[in-house]
Chain A
Amino acid sequence: MKINILSISFEMALLLFLSSLAVCPASALFFFQPRNKAAENILKDMEKAYNNGECLLVHELYEKILAENPSAEIRESVYDYAGICYEESGSADKAIDIYKLALGLYPKNAFFSYRLALIYNETGFYDKALPLFKIAIKKNFHEAGALTGAARASENLGKLDEAAKYYEEALSHSGDEDIALIKEFASCLIKSARFEEARAIIEKGYAIKPEADWPALIAKTFAAEGRFDDASAAMASAIGYDPKREYRISKGFYDYWAGNKEAAEAAADDLLAADGKDFLAAFLKGLLLYSSDKKSEADKYFRLAACGGNFVSEAARKMSSAELPDAKELCK
């Protein structure tokens, strides 16, 4: 008797398949779900609404589509549109909920990690943002954005060396010409006392687009090293591009520290002539008079500076040789 191997194999295969159906979890049968035409149509509407910027409609359709028990693939896109729409309408908490849920269901989806990380960065949860950016970076998702996000999160957590590495990489991904990013990178290097490197990157930025911020940043690096003459010269160059108050007062202080008292006094006088209530300029003027041993004259300016911000006021009060009345009385 001949044995029909093929028919036995088929029967066995069938038996195996049926028994597997009995033991496998329901979720494994997801593949065999019939196409949900209604859900597909709603998703198309959702996509259209999203492209037209109609986020209210997207949110309505979001509720509707979930009621249709859509396939995993459709659901993934639904979370994507709904999340972005919640972000755009300023409902960060709802967007966070959606992305967290989506990440639980689709842990390999770098988009959700990236978007969630961006929200965490914007809302100040840098410790939560950083690992999510790292996931996106690992999966090569939106590299320049993820690297910049990781840099900002690291910087805010105080991890300045790590931040600098991310900035450097982000910059190379954005073609090395992103001015705003170069400034952030330079500021991070200054914050971590890596002044030589900061100056090199600032030079790069200056070569791309010469403007006041670059020499002003260079001035900060020199000042931090105690090279106040160089800092003053760099700040003079910044003033050449943009004579704004912040630069002029900075130059005045650098001149004071460098011992160029005349230049410092000229800066303070100019600013006070422009605005008699420039408390910082008043503080500088007081400081100059105090160091020239004209304490009673200095007190007039410290008295004025004591009406400035909390720290300016406190510093002025400490410098003043006279006991100053409280702010209410003093700054009437």
Chain B
Amino acid sequence: MSCLGFMAMNPMKAITLKSFFYLLIALIFLAIPQSWAAAQSSANSRQTGDDELLTELLWPGISNAPAGKRPSVGVALAGGGARAFTHTGFIQAMLYASFPIDYVAGTSMGSVIGAYYAAGKPIDDLWQLGGRLVKLGIKRDFLNIKLLPLVFKNKMMPANNIKRIISEMFGELNIEDLDKPFACVAVDVRTGEKIVFRSGPVAIAVRASANFPGFFEPLPYNQRYLIDGGVVENIPVDVVKAMGANWIIASVDNVVSDSMPENVLSVLMQVIDVRGRMLAEESVKKADFVVDPPVGGISTIAFEKSIEAAEAGLAQTMKDMPAMKRAYILKAIKMRTEAE
């Protein structure tokens, strides 16, 4: 007996079968978009997986290539006082990823950290550096800033502790003796000229670059009176480009402190921060990649928070690393195809 014949004979069964038929159609209509969506999501996840896999497979070939066979990488380390310790975390993450660093440029505290790294100091020393600076009394120079003597004696403060610390760190070392090509930025306060140190004593260059303006005496050197380079180029992207870098990462800490300035000194520092940030906007546009960790809660002189700043830099750089690798790989491909 055919199925239809059975339906004709048994109306109840026919209704059941009809309902079943409608249900089947409804299920098919429901199932089609679902299975399409499932197939789509599986395709998407394979594409994401492929993106990650290709990054992982191209990276070792490109990053292990000798300097001339891949884009040279320059890092521009911004100034920012204690916040600049984000660069420690940034450098740590670069080492973890075996990301090549061919050129280092720094401004202000970025120059201190950059020179220390370029000198081939172990990364653990870099992590300890903030604590060491606090122990050696870096903060004392800032805390010694008294407004009345500045106004009445009309005389700048000598940054004695900073001078001693930097001399202890770098001794008689010259920039040209460092493990990696290094440059840092200062300003001649008389002429407003940007002075880029590419050779000569590291201690002088770094001291000049980190010579906080307005309070500390300008550093006399070679007929120039040098102050902090952050006044003209807080993120030395142009400098590292001029050194020969094809691909530039800016490690930035230029979030203006979100804490309320409590005294005249902190207001002035905040004003300098604001100015630095305005300059930074132009510089970051010229960088190929920018790492910008959230360190707004750390004030310029909070050197006791250097580890906190370094950890923020590390976390942010690790988070940015896949995108950073991809951007660099694409640059390497472009460089190769253009050369051929």
Task: Kindly state whether residue A191 has any CB partner on chain B within 8 Å.
Answer: yes
Q: How far is the CA of A314 from the CA of B64 in the complex (A)?
A: 22
Inter-chain CA distance A311–B329, complex, in Å, is: 10
The verdict on B36 contacting chain A, using a C-beta distance below 8 Å, is no
How far, in Å, is B123 (CB) from chain A's closest CB?
Answer: 10
- Give a binary string over B41-77; 1 marks a CB under 8 Å from any A CB, 0 the rest: 0000011111101111110110010000000000000
The yes or no answer to A253 lying at the interface (CB within 8 A) is yes
Question: Are A226's CB and B64's CB within 8 A?
Answer: yes
**At the interface, yes or no: B333 with Cβ under 8 Å from chain A?**
yes
In the bound complex, do residue B51 and residue A257 qualify as a contact, i.e. CB atoms below 8 Å apart? Answer: no
A191–B48 Cα distance when bound, in Å, is 20
Given contacts A311-B54, A312-B54, contact A158 B317 (CB under 8 A): yes
A250-272 CB contacts (< 8 Å) to partner B: 250, 253-254, 256-257
Q: Are B51 and A223 in contact (CB under 8 A)?
A: no
Q: Is the interface of B mostly helix, strand, loop or mixed?
A: helix
B46 proximity list for chain A (CB < 8 A): 309
What is the 8 Å Cβ interface bit string for chain A, positions 211-238, against chain B (1 contact, 0 not)? 0000000001001111010010000000
Which of B19-27, B89-97, B146-154 lies on the face that meets chain A?
A: B89-97
Decide yes or no whether A196 CB sits under 8 A from chain B: no
Are B96 and A191 neighbours in the complex by a CB distance under 8 Å? Answer: yes
A195 to B89, CA, bound (A): 21
In the complex, chain A residues 44-87 whose Cβ is within 8 Å of any chain B Cβ: none
Indicate if the CB atoms of B333 and A157 lie closer than 8 Å: no
| Contact B315 A257, beta carbon cutoff 8 Å | no
Q: A192-B96, A253-B58 are in contact. Are A318 and B333 (CB under 8 A)?
A: yes
Query: B92: which A residues are within 8 A, CB to CB?
Result: 158
Query: Is residue A324 within 8 Å, beta carbon to beta carbon, of the partner chain?
Result: no
B318 within 8 A of A: yes
Q: Does A315 sit at the interface, judged by CB under 8 A?
A: yes
Hey, which chain B residues are within 8 Å of A225, CB to CB?
A: 60, 64
B331 and chain A: residue at smallest CB distance: A318
Chain B residues with CB under 8 A of A256: 61
User: Can you list, as one digit per residue, whether each of A130-147 has a CB less than 8 Å from chain B (1) or not (0)?
Assistant: 000000000000000000
In the complex, number of A-B residue pairs with CB atoms less than 8 Å apart? 86
Verify B54–A310 contact, CB threshold 8 A. Answer: no
**How many residues on chain B are close to A (CB under 8 Å)?**
34
Establish whether residues A257 and B334, one from each chain, have CB atoms under 8 Å apart when the complex forms: no
Does B4 belong to the interface (CB within 8 Å)?
A: no
In whole Å, how far is B99's beta carbon from the nearest beta carbon of chain A? 10
Q: Could you tell me the distance between the alpha carbons of A220 and B168 in the complex, rounded to whole angstroms?
A: 42
Q: Is the CB of A280 within 8 A of B53?
A: yes
B47 touches A308 (CB 8 A): yes
Is A158 a contact of B333 with CB atoms below 8 Å?
A: no
Mask: chain A, 14-29; 1 = CB below 8 Å from B; 0 = not: 0000000000000000
- Chain B residues 307 to 340 lying within 8 A of chain A, measured CB to CB, are 311, 314-315, 317-319, 326, 329-330, 333-334, 337
Q: Which of B50, B56, B330 contacts A279 (CB 8 A)?
A: B50
Contact A157 B314 (CB under 8 A): yes
CA distance A280 to B50 in the complex (A): 7
A160 at the interface (CB under 8 A from B): yes
Known: A157-B314, A160-B96, A309-B51. A315 touches B60 (CB 8 A): no
CB–CB A319/B333 < 8 A: yes
- A231 to B57 CA separation, bound complex (whole angstroms): 11
Q: Tell me if B337 and A318 are in contact (CB < 8 A).
A: yes
**A249 near B96: Cβ-Cβ < 8 Å:** no
A309 close to B311 (CB less than 8 A): no
- Interface residues, chain B, with chain A CB atoms under 8 Å away: 46-51, 53-58, 60-61, 64, 89, 92-93, 95-98, 311, 314-315, 317-319, 326, 329-330, 333-334, 337
13 A-B pairs with CB atoms under 8 Å apart are A157-B314, A158-B315, A158-B318, A159-B311, A193-B95, A220-B56, A223-B57, A226-B64, A250-B53, A253-B57, A283-B54, A308-B50, A315-B329
Besides the contacts A157-B311, A159-B311, A225-B64, what 16 more A-B pairs have beta carbons closer than 8 Å?
A: A158-B92, A158-B93, A158-B96, A158-B315, A193-B95, A193-B98, A226-B60, A226-B64, A249-B57, A256-B61, A257-B60, A279-B50, A280-B53, A280-B54, A309-B47, A310-B47
Q: CB within 8 Å of B: which residues of A?
A: 127, 157-160, 191-193, 220, 223-226, 228, 231, 246, 249-250, 253-254, 256-257, 279-280, 283, 308-312, 314-315, 318-319, 321
